[in-house]
């Protein structure tokens, strides 16, 4: 195990737990119903310091590390994974710039991201069999002083709300291995954010397709080296997987709590159904798997903080989260029976939210491939 939570990390966790109870939990149900971007909650998160959690102090952040970030994501997700997702998408972009940006980029962009003045987003996926290879792949064509981006990205989170997008384009169409990362300002001419996609869950977290029509990016906005984007996208998706697993864990933790409380007060056959082994097995299985996923996610986050490679561990986290997510909600709803199936009860929203936490940033390859390649 790579970590034990420090006193400070525990204080951050309990502080965010309090914050969530006060400022996020009361909004969760109405957010699900009206699906409007929760700008008030995002402002509060910024005021609390969450948007700059992983940003170095010299750029106005709290430099609290990824373990605290992942723990905070779980706390947020216990109440509203949609709200957590906004922070995750932002922090993945912020972390990406922090890790791969040069001094000029960091100085220029991180303070605004840390304060929440600018919301961040990452645009990775495209329509097509492989990144950089489809008909609509994002191509970067050389231009005076920089590049012109043309193509489209799909399912971009924080779409329309982000001030900057970290995008991955290919300078060699058809070759997904030669990606280059760019930081694109949302106001740049040629960017068109499509209509916000209606999804089954995570209402309030905005995703949309974005098209780029000869969008100019200067050389200064290239993140990392030319053709060096593959390792950056790998790192980015690995970070996203760990954070999203914390979203899954948060949802499942709440689901177990709700189902357990329900089972205690539901009396059938003369006693509370929490006494029946059938129910105990369901709850115990979910609780155990949730606990395991939580620990593995925190462990991967600790590796990031220690500057160690974590992509393989992240793939393991993703695999665990995939197995945890929807299935756990199926079990939790089963415990609550007919009542659990009602939209008036808490589990229905969680049932709809959880898939978004495991599937929204899924690369084409199964996580098993990365894991297998690392052990074989």
Interface contacts to other proteins, rule CB under 8 A: 7-8, 11-12, 15-16, 18-19, 22-23, 47-50, 53, 62, 64, 125, 129, 154-155, 197-202, 267-269, 278-279, 322, 326-327, 330, 333-334, 337-338, 340-344, 348, 351-352, 355-356, 358-362, 364-366, 368-369
Smallest gap, in angstroms, from Cβ of residue 299 to other proteins? Answer: 23
Q: Where are the alpha helices (DSSP H) in 266-276?
A: none
Under 8 Å between Cβ of 168 and 138: yes
Whichever of 66 and 100 has its CB closer to other proteins, that residue is 66
Smallest gap, in angstroms, from Cβ of residue 201 to other proteins? Answer: 7
Under 8 Å between Cβ of 73 and 33: no
Which candidate, 233, 256, 236, 241, places its Cα nearest to that of 358? Answer: 241
Per-position DSSP letters for 31-50, written without gaps between them: HHHH----HHHHHHHHHHTG
Which candidate, 183, 334, 363, 349, places its Cα nearest to that of 254? Answer: 349
Helix axes 81-100, 103-115, angle to 10 degrees: 160
Smallest gap, in angstroms, from Cβ of residue 118 to other proteins? Answer: 19
Whichever of 34 and 200 has its CB closer to other proteins, that residue is 200
Smallest gap, in angstroms, from Cβ of residue 219 to other proteins? Answer: 32
Whichever of 309 and 339 has its CB closer to other proteins, that residue is 339
Whichever of 3 and 366 has its CB closer to other proteins, that residue is 366
Which candidate, 12, 19, 127, 123, places its Cα nearest to that of 63? Answer: 12
Smallest gap, in angstroms, from Cβ of residue 27 to other proteins? Answer: 15
Cα gap 9→17, rounded to integer Å: 12
Whichever of 61 and 250 has its CB closer to other proteins, that residue is 61
Name the strand (E) or helix (H) holding 114. Answer: helix 103-115
Radius of gyration of the chain (CA): 21
Smallest gap, in angstroms, from Cβ of residue 294 to other proteins? Answer: 17
Coil/strand/helix, residue 183? strand
Which candidate, 139, 191, 143, places its Cα nearest to that of 163? Answer: 191
Whichever of 134 and 228 has its CB closer to other proteins, that residue is 134
Smallest gap, in angstroms, from Cβ of residue 314 to other proteins? Answer: 17
């Amino acid at each position: 195990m790579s970590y034990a939570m420090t006193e400070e990390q525990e204080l951050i966790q309990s502080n965010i737990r309090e914050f969530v109870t006060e400022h996020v939990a009361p909004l969760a149900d109405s957010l699900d119903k009206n699906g409007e971007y929760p700008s008030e909650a995002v402002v509060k998160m910024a005021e609390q310091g969450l948007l700059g959690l992983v940003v170095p102090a010299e750029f106005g952040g709290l430099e609290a590390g990824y373990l605290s970030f992942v723990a905070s994501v779980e706390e947020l997700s216990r109440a509203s994974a949609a709200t957590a997702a906004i922070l995750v998408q932002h922090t993945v972009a912020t972390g990406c710039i922090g890790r791969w940006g040069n001094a000029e980029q960091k100085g220029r962009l991180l303070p605004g991201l840390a304060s929440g003045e600018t919301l961040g987003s990452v645009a990775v996926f495209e329509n097509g069999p492989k990144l950089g290879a489809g008909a609509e792949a994002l191509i970067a064509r050389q231009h005076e002083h920089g590049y012109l981006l043309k193509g489209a990205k799909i399912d971009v989170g924080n779409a329309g709300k982000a001030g900057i997008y970290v995008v991955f384009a290919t300078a060699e169409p058809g070759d997904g291995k030669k990606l280059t990362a760019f930081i694109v300002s949302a106001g740049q001419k040629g960017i068109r954010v499509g209509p916000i996609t209606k999804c089954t869950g995570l209402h309030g977290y905005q995703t949309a397709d974005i098209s780029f029509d000869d969008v100019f990016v200067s050389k200064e906005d290239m993140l990392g080296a030319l053709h060096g984007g593959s390792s950056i996208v790998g790192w980015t998706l690995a970070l996203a997987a760990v954070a999203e697993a914390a979203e899954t864990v948060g949802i499942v933790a709440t689901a177990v709590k709700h189902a357990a409380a329900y089972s205690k007060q539901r009396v059938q056959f003369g006693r509370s159904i929490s006494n029946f082994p059938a129910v105990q097995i369901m709850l115990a299985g979910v609780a155990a798997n949730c606990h395991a996923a939580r620990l593995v996610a925190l462990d991967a986050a600790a590796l990031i903080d220690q500057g160690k490679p974590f992509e393989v561990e992240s793939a393991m986290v993703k695999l665990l989260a995939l197995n945890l997510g929807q299935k756990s909600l199926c079990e939790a709803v089963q415990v609550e029976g007919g009542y659990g199936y009602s939209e008036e009860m808490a589990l229905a929203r969680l049932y709809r939210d959880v898939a978004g936490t495991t599937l929204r940033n899924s690369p084409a390859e199964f996580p098993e491939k990365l894991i297998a390649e690392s052990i074989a």
